[in-house]
Amino acid sequence: EVAQVVGAGSVGVQAGASGKGQRVAVLDSGVDAAHPDLAGRVVAEQCFAWGACPPSGASQGKSAADGHGHGTHVASIVAGLGKVAPPGVAPGTEIVAVRVTDKKGRAKLSDILAGLDCTAAQAGSLGIRIVNLSLGGGTAYKKGCDGWQSATAAAVALLAAKGVAVFAAAGNAGVAGVSAPACLSHAIAVGATYDAVLPAQAYASGCVDAAPKPGVMACFSNHGSTLDL
């Protein structure tokens, strides 16, 4: 396992890595394109969410307006301008918003697959270099899961073949193993660490971190040999 702390946007900019010229597809609950930290950063939108696409509740649409908040939070970590919240890791990045969940943050596998396939089809024309999947759950696999998640594995492999890096959340169950889709061989599985010295932290799951500090993995983060970052 490798523990790394992601630098704040100001650090990235100082290092000449603002993300300018790069585009990230965020497959999530959508993105609030009017948010001050994301204004002008969302360059394309699409929705695949069974009975939940705005504005009419269709299962597919051209608006990825956020119905939950999680996707906007994720997009701001990537590309936020720092006007309201701290700046994103790469504030020069542009966002392709792909909504795949309903208003409660629930996603059907078929919608995730549709979002991945659409992203792969438009990767070249939209200049997408990265896909972010802060979603998943269920079984935590201690080894690769391509054989058990064959449809998603094929979709992610297609993106990789097009030169698109796919990052996915390892999971927040605090167990040994990585959730799908992060467990796929062509996905980069990302866990959680602290970025500051903090007092003891207790979580609803029941786990407690007695002495959080930079580089220490959070107790709620899934972990194991297949965790990449």
**Full pLDDT tens readout for the chain, 229 residues:** 334 456 555 555 566 678 899 999 999 999 999 999 999 999 999 999 999 999 999 999 999 999 899 999 999 999 999 999 888 889 999 999 999 999 999 999 999 999 999 999 999 999 999 999 999 988 999 999 999 999 999 999 999 999 999 999 999 999 999 999 999 999 999 999 998 899 999 998 899 999 999 888 999 999 999 999 9
* CA-to-CA separations, 128 to 14, 112, 125, in angstroms, rounded: 24, 17, 8
pLDDT at 223: 94
Which residues face 47 on adjacent strands? 61, 99
The DSSP code for 211 is S
DSSP-derived pairing of the beta strands 137-141 and 178-180: antiparallel
Q: What pLDDT does residue 7 have?
A: 55
What's the rounded Cα separation, in Å, for the pair 118 and 114? 6
Q: Which residue in 203, 193, 189, 205 sits closest to 141, CA to CA?
A: 189
pTM: 0.92
